[in-house]
Amino acid sequence: MIKLGNIDDNYIISLSALLHSSYLVNKIATTGQNYSNQAEMLIRSIYKTDTFDTKSIYKNYNELHDGYVVLKKILTGNTDIPLITMQKYALNMILIQKNINKINDLKYLIRKKIDNYQENSMMATNLGDLIAYTEEIYTEHIGIIRPRVVVSGKKEYLEKNSSLIRALLLSGIRASFLWDYYGGSKWQLMFRRKEILNKCEKFFI
């Protein structure tokens, strides 16, 4: 059954966040540059579990602009190779999010790990430690799920930035949960493309 929810701001922001995660993973894997500062808002979104309001979760949502550009390119039928790669990452993250809901207790275990971070006042809160902790969640609980997100890029870049890449993949899965909450589905990207694109045109500056 295809969901027919409203295409609203929350829908566009959560989908842009998912695609921004894919965008940064691809940039890191192919250029070797460290985008941890640009990734910070996405990674911290994983730990904002007390609201579904995307403008609270992604307070500076204009920082998701590159993900929004990727979304517009997908909706207008662009087929360049980097875009296809980013779209593949996003689709796999959506499938993982769906599969998390099918595995008994897995969502609870992930949430417990997130809550442990939030509740431990003695735990360091700098970005480097947050990335390492997020990678730990991904490795323990997401790595067992299929399909795996196989990231393409130079081996040296992938090894050097493995923690950040895994943290970004988890942030994309978090965004997928939000998008699903607001009625998102991959079928809409096929059958409601014009409607989503019209909303995009009125959204980001």
Q: Identify whether the C-beta of residue 84 lies closer than 8 Å to the C-beta of residue 91.
A: no
User: Using one digit for the tens of pLDDT, what is the confidence trace for 39-58?
Assistant: 999 999 999 999 999 999 99
* Sequence spans of domains, the chain: 9-201
Q: Is the peptide bond before 147 cis (omega within 30 degrees of 0)?
A: yes
pLDDT mean over 8-36: 96
- DSSP, collapsed to helix, strand or coil, labels residue 105 as coil
Please state, for a pLDDT cut of 70, what percent of the chain lies above it. 93
pLDDT of residue 124: 53
Measured CA to CA, the distance from residue 149 to residue 166 in angstroms comes to 10
pLDDT mean over 142-169: 94
Q: What is the pTM of this model?
A: 0.93
pLDDT of residue 167: 97
Report residue 149 CA to chain centroid gap. Answer: 12
Summary mean pLDDT of the chain: 90
Q: Identify whether the C-beta of residue 66 lies closer than 8 Å to the C-beta of residue 27.
A: no
User: Using one digit for the tens of pLDDT, what is the confidence trace for 70-112?
Assistant: 999 999 999 899 999 999 999 999 999 999 989 889 999 999 9
pLDDT of residue 2: 41
First to last CA, the chain: 34
Q: For the domain made up of 9-201, give the CATH fold.
A: YcfC-like (1.10.3890)
At 204, the pLDDT band (50, 70, 90 cuts) reads low
Q: Identify whether the C-beta of residue 167 lies closer than 8 Å to the C-beta of residue 39.
A: yes
Which segments of 46-146 does DSSP mark as H helices, in order? 54-57, 65-75, 81-100, 106-119, 127-137
